[in-house]
Amino acid sequence: MNGAEAIVKCLLEEKVDIIYGYSGVAIAPFYDAVGETDIKQVLIRTEQNAAHCASGYARISGKVGVCAVTSGPGATNLITGIATAYADSIPLVCITGQVNSELIGSDVFQEADITGAAESFVKYSYLIRDVNDIPRIFKEAFHIASTGRKGPVLIDIPIDIQQAEIRKFAYPEKVEMRTYKPTVEGNAAQVKKVVKEVAKAKRPIICVGGGVHLSGAMAEIRRFVKDNCIPVVSTMMGIGVMASEDPYYFGMVGNNGRPYANRALNESDLLLMVGARVADRAVNRPDLITENKVLIHIDVDPAEIGKNVGPTIPLVGDIKHIFKKINEYEDEVDLIHERTEWINTLKKYKAEMIEKRPVIDTEKFVDPKSFLQTLSRKLPSDAIYIADVGQNQIWSCRWHLVRNGRFLTSGGMGTMGYSIPAAIGAKMADSQKKVVAVMGDGAFQMSMMELSTMRQYGTNVSVIVFNNGYLGMVREYQHYALDDRYNMVELHNTPKLDKIAEAYDMKYLRASSQKEAEALINEIAKKDECVLCEVVVDPLDLAK
């Protein structure tokens, strides 16, 4: 058995059934070995999107996403995808081919120091020097990627190591890493403290982040919310933990969030931050947050606790485990009356503070608000919705109604072009679900080459492009902050999307008025087919 076959055997041990990637000489032995198995190979059109595909796949399947590309430019192209996954703590194992071991460091053709280059975006990386290390390294890599605070792990494998004969293949049964032991169970005394504090609070609130999805703790959180009568707000990555119209849910916090969600956060007397980083986009001045309230911060990564804000009660561990424990305390809530009042206050704020939108000429343009609201009502309730980056992302956060589906986006890194490849990965992870990718004309042109991948593998995704001829989010910034001096934001000569659809042999629909929009939605909402939808929106529309 050679190194490449050993790697594939490791992947089979890890129950990998799909690999996204791009070929090249330095990774050819590996794919040669993959070809002998039932593992599905998905050839994307540029390497960055292999990581995004694997990310979409990981987020929906709950498994580790795997991508494999060749050395040099193949590997460096992957970096943005790796960084995107790292920022959102998505578990990936990224395999890169490398030049012959003996030539490393001599700048030969297609050589790049990828472990060095990707260092700050990976949870860990390996450069394999000995073929016999393969089983241990892969076992560790999958373990590291999928436990604790999840994230991408990079494995760089020189071509000669892929070709070398391994002495004996034995896949380790378990991993013993002294230096890597993430805390799963929360400290029992701290859990008790949390329960006690929560019981005392009259105006408690929970802010849920992406960590809740990563831990698979949705059910536990929803139960906790109901049992204790506590309102919920979320970060962008926490959207979907609660259904959008759940009476306990009060929207997304932060600069781009709902003003009443921020007000709720500010006026609470107890804040439970759960699987959220307290990042700049969610909390503007973290130093002020603890002034008038008890802050409980629950996260699997101890380094996140105290990074941006010093909590009253820190609690490190896996959210699902912790909330299972918390839910076992079945004390009656004494303060149910106060809390009901608190929730009623928040409902009042919501009614008063809901944003007023400028009026859109609905004969000439589609209003993104009513479009997204109608679309999400017509979609199957468990649809997977992927928002790209830009105004479309902010609109989506606000108006897409999550029922029991998922909402995916590149929240941390804000990588444009994420939605199409992530949608491909999501659809491949759960082919029964309706998958919708929503983006602007800027992001679309960053990854439209993947329409070809969609067609090649028969991956049915509804691709919706909000076309406004601008990089709208930056234009909006220039409007507010730079006196409407529009530089580097006008997208002229965007290819005609009907021709693009024709070129990729896919269905095309267009809407430039409210009426057309409704027809378009009715046409796509329930159908499982590959379709490119152009939705013309007002170039001067604002997300804020």
Partner 1 sequence: MKKKVFQLLVDNTSGVLTRISGLFARRGYNIESITAGTTTDPNYTRITIVASGDDVILEQIEKQLSKLIDVRDIRELEPEESVYRELALVKVEAGEKERENIMSIANIFRANIIDVNPDSLIIEITGNQSKVDALLKMLEGKKILELARTGIAGLGRGTDKVVNLDDLKD
Binding site for partner 1 (CB under 8 A): 115-116, 119-120, 123-124, 127, 144, 176-180, 301-303, 306-307, 310
Residue nearer to partner 1 on the CB measure, 2 or 183: 183
In angstroms, give the least distance from the CB of 288 to partner 1.
Answer: 15
Query: 252 has which bridge partners?
Result: 234
Residue nearer to partner 1 on the CB measure, 114 or 506: 114
In angstroms, give the least distance from the CB of 62 to partner 1.
Answer: 23
Residue nearer to partner 1 on the CB measure, 151 or 204: 151
C-alpha separations of 521 from 48, 121, 426, 527 in Å? 31, 39, 21, 10
Residue nearer to partner 1 on the CB measure, 277 or 400: 277
CB neighbours of residue 426 within 10 Å: 30
In angstroms, give the least distance from the CB of 75 to partner 1.
Answer: 16
Residue nearer to partner 1 on the CB measure, 384 or 413: 413
- 247: three-class secondary structure by DSSP: coil
- 531: three-class secondary structure by DSSP: strand
In angstroms, give the least distance from the CB of 86 to partner 1.
Answer: 12
DSSP category for residue 131: G
In angstroms, give the least distance from the CB of 55 to partner 1.
Answer: 21
Integer Cα distance of 273 and 256 in angstroms? 18
Amino acid code (one letter) for 164: A
DSSP string, 289-356: TTTTSEEEEEES-GGGTTTSS--SEEEES-HHHHHHHHHH--PPPTTHHHHHHHHHHHHHHHHHHPPP
Query: 507 has which bridge partners?
Result: 531
The dihedral through the CA atoms of 17, 321, 281, 306 has a sign that is: negative
Residue nearer to partner 1 on the CB measure, 177 or 503: 177
Residue nearer to partner 1 on the CB measure, 179 or 487: 179
C-alpha separations of 234 from 5, 253, 281 in Å? 44, 6, 12
In angstroms, give the least distance from the CB of 307 to partner 1.
Answer: 6
Amino acid code (one letter) for 28: A
For tokens 């590959």, what's the residue?
530
In angstroms, give the least distance from the CB of 306 to partner 1.
Answer: 6
In angstroms, give the least distance from the CB of 148 to partner 1.
Answer: 9
Residue nearer to partner 1 on the CB measure, 177 or 288: 177
